[in-house]
Amino acid sequence: MQMSFPNIPVATLGVPRIGRRRELKFALEAYWSGQIEAAELLETARKLRAEKWIEQRDRGVTKIPSNDFSLYDQVLDTVAMVGAVPPRFGWIGGAVSLDTYFTMARGRGEESCGHAGHSQTMTALEMTKWFDTNYHYMVPEFGPDQNFTLSSTKPLDEFLEAKALGIHTRPVIIGPVTFLKLGKCIGEDFDRLALLPRLLPVYAELLAKLHKAGADWVQFDEPCLVTDLEPREREAASFAYGKLAAEVPGVKAMVATYFGGLGDNLETALGLPVAGLHLDLVRAPEQLAPVGRLARKDLVLSLGLIDGRNVWRSDLSSILDRIKSVVAGWTLDRIEIAPSCSLLHVPIDLELETALDGELKSWLAFSVQKMDELRVLARALSEGRDAVANELKASAEAAASRAASPKVHDPLVEGRLSAITEPMRRRRSVFAERRRLQREKLNLPAFPTTTIGSFPQTPEVRKARAAHARGELSYVDYEAFLKRETEAAIRWQEEIGLDVLVHGEFERNDMVQYFGEQLAGFAFTKHAWVQSYGSRCVRPPIIFGDVSRPRPMTVAWWQYAQSLTSRPVKGMLTGPVTILNWSFVRDDLPRAAVCRQIALAIRDEVADLEEAGTSMIQIDEAALREGLPLRKSEWQAYLDWAVECFRLASSGVRDDTQIHTHMCYSEFNDIIEAIAAMDADVISIETSRSRMELLDAFRSYNYPNEIGPGVYDIHSPRVPDVAEMKNLLALARRRLTDGQIWINPDCGLKTRKWEEVRPALVNMVAAARELRAAAA
Ligand code: GLN
Ligand code: ZN
């Protein structure tokens, strides 16, 4: 490879750690199940780090990160680093062991632990989404008397490990403000930022060690600077970096902000006594101009110009044009070139996708391809565009081919989109009238029982699917197998007396992939995995073109299931917002427009299901809430189009066709109006773990439609008994009218075993019967 290195630094901020072939995943899982020793796991990890460093160096990255690697999660690493191990893990100080680390991540007891000899049950740290990504971090826990001590030298070890390979790195550490903000309070609520004076000495101690080992720069990730902050939180940031600068003056801090613009935190960020500031100029290109005007002349600005959240190749010339006027007056030593955020959130290497359509492939860039793009940008700025004329030309050609390709543009879809009218987003009659007609038609008992859709994806189901995918099981045989599974599920549901049945979703690999594979405008990869949490990876579909539905997707399965029973079987679809939020979305259209296209495709499917005789259609919107923007001021705009898309997908039906939706989360207080505006006839939600508390939102809003509050926590192998479910239902009846209540589990049952599901649902039906008898 011929390589010329730019003198403007090139940074990645962090790279994927799972490995091209998911080596880390397999090593972790082998270790957890006792198949390999710790030494082998650590050796795999060491090799992966070395490969990543060498690869970045060879591709012209000059600010190479270290400590961006993690065996599980970088927030958990920070918990271990500062000794914030919650008391229940029995840690007595000293270095946090691998065992303690993984116990915090995965818990111990119940189903989580593979190693023998541990009898105690320990609940893992909670897990939640890292800002608005699909990556999940482990939530730190802080008590009011929290102390911190330096308890892991991981950042130092990895710095030295790279140094031994001849690679000088810039360690990445989660900034102290973001770290405290991401945590939760144990016991009473208190201001976690008040812990800063105790936390900062640990950071300072680490920085001093890094400095002594030869580190000159350290990257502090402070994505909380792009979120809504209170004045005291901004002061805390100034305090923290002032303190670190005073304590360890030898280390230069690059404060990394990403996933959005600094907005009203701009002044705070620019006032920090640090040497560098990273800006996300993909999500917030408009902030470059004010930063250019207001920043200290000696502040190094890391320009996040390549999208670290998406898979598209950039049009490099247009990026250069966009920043030209601002950076024209700058000296080159003020600039670094970087992705918008760490490359953790994109797949590793496009070259592995040998089966992908060549034209589509020419429009994409994964982590290593993005490094190449960064280098070209840096060279264009330092040596002039002529030095990289070929690269710029190739990138412009790819952009032009994408913009003009008939694969991307479907005039029929574009025509339908512009012909959407208001009545298409409204049911014909109001809920009260629809309910009357639906009751007449469906004739269900009070407190109807149902499930959320999927039944256990047993090893046999997965084996058959894999054999079919490998070509070892013919479609005819595979289909016959799925039919047998479906039939057994229908028979069993009838037998135990559920009122509204489901077909079980045995034919579905995943609730988004199953639809994406049948829709036009979607592409699927073979190796483009992205870490979701720990060893878990997902392979999101890529929406590259206008979306349409060439033919019915679920009708035949519904018809088959309904042909076996006289009880109603729900049609089962994934909603447009969820399909959007769990995909890589094209960046040449607003997300709302892409979502509308998906909504029209789902609307077609809804129409065909109704035509085939379905009287109940469930449209799952599991990911509606997680699409909320980071800034509250942007929520309403998102909710407006998200709700509009759900309505577009669901409103084409007759009044007596019952629309269900399902959401598996438990925070509705702040979005209840939007939930009501979706106007689903029935909504099923996750409530069992919160003991129905979240129904308060529905009660105080006077939510008019029907609700199935989950009475069975499907995240646990535990089988709830009748009394427990009746208790939950009693709590629900305090908050809802009897006529509103449905009885169902929290979510789909695909991750559970039949041995758990069978008794749990038998108990659920018994609880419903007892309730009916008592209420009659
Ligand atoms: N219908 C889907 C299922 O039952 C819903 C899954 C979900 O909400 N995550 O599996
Ligand atoms: Zn769910």
Measure the CA–CA gap between 11 and 2, rounded to whole angstroms: 20
Instruction: Give the model's pLDDT for residue 113.
Output: 41
pLDDT band at 692; cut points 50, 70, 90: confident
Instruction: Give the model's pLDDT for residue 117.
Output: 47
Is the pLDDT at 114 greater than 50? The verdict is: no
Q: Which residues of 473-501 are buried (b: 16+ CB within 10 A; e: fewer)?
A: beeeebbebbbebbbebbebbeeeebbbb
Kindly compute the dihedral angle of the four CA atoms of residues 474, 479, 481, 482, in this order, to the nearest 10 degrees. Answer: 140
DSSP 185: E
Residues 563-619: tens digit of each pLDDT: 999 999 999 999 999 999 999 999 999 999 999 999 999 999 999 999 999 999 999
pLDDT band at 110; cut points 50, 70, 90: low
Helices and strands per DSSP (H, E), number in the chain: 27, 21
Could you say which of 3.20.20.210, 3.40.50.300, 3.30.70.100, 3.40.50.2020 is the CATH number of the domain covering 23-91+126-404?
Answer: 3.20.20.210
Query: Who wins on pLDDT, 45 or 119?
Result: 45
Q: Work out which ligand 1 atom sits closest to the CA atom of 452.
A: 4
Domain borders along the chain are 23-91+126-404, 428-775
Residues 242-267: tens digit of each pLDDT: 999 999 999 999 999 999 999 999 99
Element (DSSP H or E) covering residue 211: helix 196-213
Nearest to 175 by CA among 263, 268, 292, 298: 268
Is the pLDDT at 111 greater than 80? The verdict is: no
Could you say which of 3.20.20.210, 3.40.50.1970, 3.40.50.970, 3.40.50.720 is the CATH number of the domain covering 428-775?
Answer: 3.20.20.210
Ligand number, closest to the Cα atom of 685: 2
Is the pLDDT at 651 greater than 60? The verdict is: yes
- Cβ proximity of 511 and 540 under 8 Å: no
Measure the CA–CA gap between 497 and 502, rounded to whole angstroms: 13
Q: Mean per-residue pLDDT for 727-753?
A: 96
Instruction: Give the model's pLDDT for residue 112.
Output: 44
Structure tokens of 265?
A: 């935190």
Is the pLDDT at 323 greater than 70? The verdict is: yes
Residues 193-250: tens digit of each pLDDT: 999 999 999 999 999 999 999 999 999 999 999 999 999 999 999 999 999 999 999 9
Residues 7-38: tens digit of each pLDDT: 899 999 999 999 999 999 999 999 999 999 99
Domains 23-91+126-404 and 428-775 alike in fold: yes
Cα end-to-end distance, the chain, whole Å: 79
Structure tokens of 259?
A: 């996933």
- Residue 461: phi and psi, rounded to 5, are -65, -45
Give me the residues paired with residue 536 across strands: 533
Structure tokens of 282?
A: 């993909």
The protein residues having their C-beta less than 5 angstroms from ligand 2 (an ion) are: 664, 747
Q: Work out which ligand 1 atom sits closest to the CA atom of 572.
A: 1
Is the pLDDT at 171 greater than 60? The verdict is: yes
Nearest to 59 by CA among 391, 483, 484, 285: 391
Among protein residues, the one with the nearest Cα to ligand 1's atom 4 is: 748
Residue positions annotated with a catalytic role: 715
Choose the residue to mutate in 134, 620, 683, 715 for probing ligand 1, maximizing ligand atoms within 8 Å of C-beta.
620
- Within 10 A of 747 (CB to CB), how many other CB atoms are there? 27
Choose the residue to mutate in 455, 457, 505 for probing ligand 1, maximizing ligand atoms within 8 Å of C-beta.
505
Give me the residues paired with residue 184 across strands: 141
Give me the residues paired with residue 743 across strands: 449
Q: Within its chain, how far is the Cα of 213 from the centroid?
A: 36
